[in-house]
Amino acid sequence: MRDRIRKLIAERKVVAVDVDTLTDTSDLYEAGLSSFASIQFMLALEDEFDIEFPERMLTRKTFVSIESIDRSIAELIGEQV
Amino acid sequence: MPVASPTIEILRAPAERMRGVAEIAARHSGEVDREGRFPQEAVDALKAERLLGVMVPKRFGGEGLSLIETAELCTILGQACGSTAMIYAMHQIKASSLVSHGGSSPWHADFMRELVEQQHLLASATTEGGIGGDLRNSICAVNVADGRFTLEKDATVISYGLYADAILVTCRRSPDAQSSDQSMVVVKRGDYTLDKTTGWDTLGMRGTCSEGFRLVSAGDAAQIFPQPFSEIAAQSMLSASHILWGAVWFGIAADAVARAQAYVRAAARKQPGSLPPGALRLAEVVAMLQDMKASVIAGVVRYEAAMSRPDELSSMGFAAEMNNLKVTTSQRAAQIVTHAMLITGLSGYKNDTPFSVGRHLRDVTSAAIMISNDRILSNTSNLLLVSRFDTSLVN
């Protein structure tokens, strides 16, 4: 799942740096994730994983790193099954 | 042997102290507006009444006033002089960032004590040449070496910059940081120089003296807030700005309505037994004012429900509601004052009658453009692509 997240970050040019320079815990906002790009990124994640982020997850903390996104998506997919 | 009794400073209630300041502000408001000068008398009075440190928690020497109590102070002052009230609101917005984020940092905690003791006036430098009003991006960066920082900024607006005792400056966190990876630094008078780059000859809010400056500063690295600016912006600045601005605009609008009512009452006394022509419009504008008040209060209630939960303050739903508060109140205030002018007619249009509302109208037109409503709406429209608005009546 983390690879799919990384692929999206690269494809959608979500951050200002090369995705390969990011670790799973790198702060995406520090890497240049803007508020506009973050929304576009969320829509792309919803589409890719066929999920909808509930209101409680729409916070900065959810999207701060590849690890935190992975955890949130896993939780949502877990709820579906 | 006589024993010195401990000095206990008993301060009157803040609203009562502010009413005294408002009298002074009202006396000078016409001249401040005409000459586009800083309201020195009213700001001196704010300091003398010790109203600049009221939001600082008691443990740091302040009075620990809540945002709603501070909003009421802004409204009282807004009824007297829009410029002075906006200066006071902008100061308190900076103070609220210190209160929310400075308590755990020894330098900022000491600075809060100093703010209360010396009644420092705080200004803000967020706008920057090449970036404009997009306060979540910076070009300039703070440089830190050996525990000291240097920072230069082409600040195209620093309201009352020349009259402030300290300025809170946004910048990139380091010279190699991205434009959205920002810090905020407190620079005190003596830490910085200001070279004026642009003037402030405007339609309204002429006393805020929101000139542009090249700011060059240096100081102790501890003056940089430990939290990223993104947290400060989302958790204290957004709500404090929109609630306190709304309170100022409500004050301006309320005074214009009070003048309209005085005009209608005077007309009614002249023609007993008949309803003056402006009476119906007065009823209408009072309803509009009540509606505006409800918006501000709803914003405060929403903020108070979220204030102790940083996650909630950083959420998109909260940001969208705070954005809407600004757009709605800024539009409403301009409508209300325009309505008051229709009621007062030529007497309101003239600058030298007890019913004049020209200054109110000019001051309140700034509301839609100080952080442009279009920018805010565009930001909200982006949030609404993922965030669902709250459909409940009571959260």
pLDDT digits 0-9 by tens, B187-212: 999 999 999 999 999 999 999 999 99
- Domains by residue range for chain A, with CATH: 2-80 (1.10.1200.10)
Q: Which residues pair with B124 in a beta bridge?
A: B168
Q: Which of B153, B166, B159 is nearest to B200 (CA)?
A: B159
Q: Quick one: pLDDT at residue A13?
A: 85
Q: Quick one: pLDDT at residue B363?
A: 98
At the topology level, CATH places domain B122-223 in Butyryl-CoA Dehydrogenase, subunit A; domain 2 (2.40.110)
- Do A39 and B379 lie within an 8 Å CB cutoff? no
Count of A–B CB contacts within 8 Å? 52
Task: Tell me what the mean pLDDT of segment B272-288 comes to.
Answer: 94
User: What was the ipTM of the complex prediction?
Assistant: 0.83
Residues 6+ apart with CB under 8 A from B178: A16, A30, A31, A32, B172
Task: Tell me what the mean pLDDT of segment B123-134 comes to.
Answer: 90
pLDDT digit string, tens, across residues B212-248: 999 999 999 999 999 999 999 989 999 999 999 999 9
Q: Quick one: pLDDT at residue A37?
A: 85
Residues 6+ apart with CB under 8 A from B284: B339
CATH 2.40.110.10 in chain B, residues?
A: 122-223
CA distance A48 to chain B (A): 15
- Do B387 and A55 lie within an 8 Å CB cutoff? yes
Task: Tell me what the mean pLDDT of segment B31-40 comes to.
Answer: 98
- Residue B388: pLDDT band by 50, 70, 90 thresholds? confident
pLDDT digit string, tens, across residues B83-120: 999 999 999 999 999 999 999 999 999 999 999 999 99
Residues of A in contact with B231 (CB under 8 A): 60
How far, in Å, CA of B253 to CA of B118, rounded?
33
DSSP state of A14: -
- Do B316 and A58 lie within an 8 Å CB cutoff? yes
CB-nearest partner of A42 from B177, B181, B386: B386
Residue B8 predicted with pLDDT over 60:
no
Average pLDDT, chain A: 89
- Residue A80: pLDDT band by 50, 70, 90 thresholds? low
Q: Which of B275, B149, B162, B293 is nearest to B222 (CA)?
A: B149
CATH 1.20.140.10 in chain B, residues?
A: 229-383
B127, B157 Cβ separation under 8 angstroms = yes
Residue B132 predicted with pLDDT over 80:
no
Single-letter code of the amino acid located at B274: S
CATH 1.10.540.10 in chain B, residues?
A: 14-118
Q: Quick one: pLDDT at residue B389?
A: 82
- Do B382 and A36 lie within an 8 Å CB cutoff? yes
Residue B50 predicted with pLDDT over 90:
yes
Q: Which of B331, B394, B342 is nearest to B364 (CA)?
A: B331
Contacts of B367-372 with CB under 8 Å at 24 or more apart are: B367/B245, B367/B249, B367/B329, B367/B330, B367/B331, B367/B333, B367/B334, B368/B330, B368/B331, B368/B334, B370/B205, B370/B245, B371/B133, B371/B135, B371/B241, B371/B326, B372/B133
- Calculate what percentage of chain B has a pLDDT beyond 70: 97
Q: Quick one: pLDDT at residue B239?
A: 95
For tokens 């608005």, name the residue.
B389
CA distances from B30 to B206, B249, B288, B344 (A): 10, 18, 26, 18
CB-nearest partner of A30 from B181, B317, B382: B181
The two tokens of residue B69 are 């109590």
Residues 6+ apart with CB under 8 A from B5: none
Residue B353 predicted with pLDDT over 60:
yes
How far, in Å, CA of B305 to CA of B318, rounded?
10
- Residue B310: pLDDT band by 50, 70, 90 thresholds? confident
- Do A33 and B180 lie within an 8 Å CB cutoff? yes
- Do A29 and B379 lie within an 8 Å CB cutoff? no
Q: Quick one: pLDDT at residue B185?
A: 98
In CATH, B229-383 is 1.20.140.10: yes
Residues of A in contact with B228 (CB under 8 A): 29
Taking the CB of residue B365, how many other CB atoms lie within 10 A of it? 18
Average pLDDT, chain B: 94
Q: Which residues pair with B224 in a beta bridge?
A: B185
- Do A29 and B179 lie within an 8 Å CB cutoff? no
For strand B122-125 and strand B166-172, is the pairing parallel, antiparallel, or unpaired? parallel
Q: Quick one: pLDDT at residue B10?
A: 64
Secondary structure of chain B in HEC code, one letter for each residue: CCCCCCCCCCCCCHHHHHHHHHHHHHHHHHHHHHHCCCCHHHHHHHHHCCCCCCCCCHHHCCCCCCHHHHHHHHHHHHCCCHHHHHHHHHHHHHHHHHHHHCCCCHHHHHHHHHHHHHCCCEEEECCECCCECCCCCCCCECEEECCEEEEEEEEEEEECHHHCCEEEEEEECCCCCCCCCEEEEEEEECCEEEEEEECCCCCCCHHHCEEEEEEEEEEEHHHECCCCHHHHHHHHHHHHHHHHHHHHHHHHHHHHHHHHHHHHHHHHHHCCCCCCCCHHHHHHHHHHHHHHHHHHHHHHHHHHHHCCCHHHHCCHHHHHHHHHHHHHHHHHHHHHHHHHHHHHHHHHHCCCCCCCCHHHHHHHHHHHCCCCHHHHHHHHHHHCCCCCCCCCCCC
Residue B58 predicted with pLDDT over 90:
yes
pLDDT digit string, tens, across residues A2-34: 899 999 999 988 888 888 999 999 999 888 888
Q: Quick one: pLDDT at residue A81?
A: 53
Q: Domain spanning B14-118: which CATH class is it, in words?
A: mainly alpha
- Calculate what percentage of chain B has a pLDDT beyond 90: 86
**Which of A19-30 are b and which e, b meaning 16 or more Cβ less than 10 Å from the residue's Cβ?**
beebeeebebbb
Q: Which contiguous run of DSSP H or E holds residue A72?
A: helix A66-80
Task: Tell me what the mean pLDDT of segment B126-139 comes to.
Answer: 89
CA distance B61 to chain A (A): 33
